[in-house]
């Protein structure tokens, strides 16, 4: 019965209703089905909403990014990259992916992130490289480049962070095994994450290479830079 809430979420997202509405309705329905009084459910909403305020930390980054964008930060990022002849959208994102994953593996989780790195720096750099190569970028390809930039940040972070011993996930699992009287070792857990981390890096780099080829095909492979030079 409680799975009705899950079903509501899937249907709601599938028919593209506003996610906020879908999530709220599902929460209310699930709570009611489970027999929680409505006052309790609303209290629960308030409580969880308050304890999870940390998730909206991006609000603090907005003034910095806004001011810098107003002064042409994104243009400068694109400008710098357009001077490097070997730069392509895919290659720039690949380099970022590598740094992000290694950084996360060393416990430096906060060196990246969508508001502070992807929007002001990575996405404009990747776009700048594509612009230098192909001229103006149509909206469809522009969105594709940006989505790839955002994805690289996630993939680098996720598959890097579990290699760092003191990360939440490792501690959570250690705690779980302790509770169940099973012996486990955080260092060994972290080390056995390496094969998957390397595999993810390779697979995604290959995909970014293919993405460059796809851009070549759709936007023409004659590099504008060669023509100018």
Sites for another protein among residues 29-58 (CB under 8 A): 30-31, 33-34, 36, 39, 41-58
Candidate list 83, 168, 213, 222; residue touching another protein; CB under 8 A: 168
Select from 84-92, 104-112, 129-137, 213-221 the region that touches another protein (CB under 8 A).
104-112
Question: Which of 166/227 has CB closer to another protein?
Answer: 166
CB of 133 to another protein, least distance (A): 20
Please classify residue 149 by burial: count the beta carbons closer than 10 Å to its beta carbon, then call 0-12 exposed, 13-18 middle and 19+ buried. buried
What are the distances in angstroms from CA 188 to CA 23, 174, 183?
A: 38, 11, 12
| Furthest C-alpha separation in the chain | 72
Q: Considering CB under 8 A, how many residues would be counted as binding another protein?
A: 116
Give yes or no for residue 21 binding another protein (CB under 8 A): yes
Candidate list 90, 96, 162, 164; residue touching another protein; CB under 8 A: 162
Give yes or no for residue 154 binding another protein (CB under 8 A): yes
Give yes or no for residue 195 binding another protein (CB under 8 A): yes
Candidate list 119, 134, 164, 212; residue touching another protein; CB under 8 A: 119
Tokens 């308050």, residue?
A: 50
Q: Which two tokens stand for residue 197?
A: 């981390």
Could you give the angle at which helices 89-105 and 194-219 cross, rounded to 10 degrees?
A: 170
Please classify residue 7 by burial: count the beta carbons closer than 10 Å to its beta carbon, then call 0-12 exposed, 13-18 middle and 19+ buried. exposed
CB of 58 to another protein, least distance (A): 7
CB of 126 closer than 8 Å to CB of 95: no
Candidate list 91, 114, 209, 225; residue touching another protein; CB under 8 A: 114
Give yes or no for residue 158 binding another protein (CB under 8 A): yes
CB of 189 to another protein, least distance (A): 5
Candidate list 126, 132, 189, 215; residue touching another protein; CB under 8 A: 189
Candidate list 133, 149, 156, 215; residue touching another protein; CB under 8 A: 149
DSSP string, 21-73: HHHHHHHHHHHHHTT--HHHHHHHHHHHHHHTGGGGTHHHHHHHHHHHHHTTH
């Amino acid at each position: 019965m409680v799975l009705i809430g899950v079903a509501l979420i899937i249907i709601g997202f599938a028919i593209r209703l506003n996610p906020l509405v879908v999530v709220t309705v599902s929460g209310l329905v699930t709570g009611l089905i489970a027999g929680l009084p409505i006052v309790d459910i609303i209290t629960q909403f308030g409580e969880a909403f308050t304890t999870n305020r940390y998730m909206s930390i991006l609000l603090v980054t907005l003034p910095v990014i806004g001011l810098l964008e107003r002064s042409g930060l994104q243009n400068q990022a694109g400008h710098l990259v357009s001077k490097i002849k070997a730069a392509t959208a895919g290659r720039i994102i690949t380099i970022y992916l590598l740094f992000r994953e290694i950084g996360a593996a060393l416990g430096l989780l906060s060196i990246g992130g969508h508001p502070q790195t992807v929007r002001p720096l990575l996405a404009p750099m990747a776009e700048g490289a594509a612009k230098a190569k192909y001229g103006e970028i149509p909206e469809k390809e522009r969105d594709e480049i940006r989505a790839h930039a955002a994805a690289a940040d996630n993939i680098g972070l996720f598959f890097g962070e579990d290699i760092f011993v003191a990360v939440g996930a490792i501690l959570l699992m250690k705690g779980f095994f302790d509770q169940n009287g099973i012996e486990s070792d955080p260092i060994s857990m972290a080390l056995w994450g390496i094969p998957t981390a390397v595999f993810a890096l390779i697979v995604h780099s290959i995909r970014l290479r293919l993405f460059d080829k796809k851009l070549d095909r759709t936007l023409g492979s004659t590099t504008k830079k060669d023509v100018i030079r």
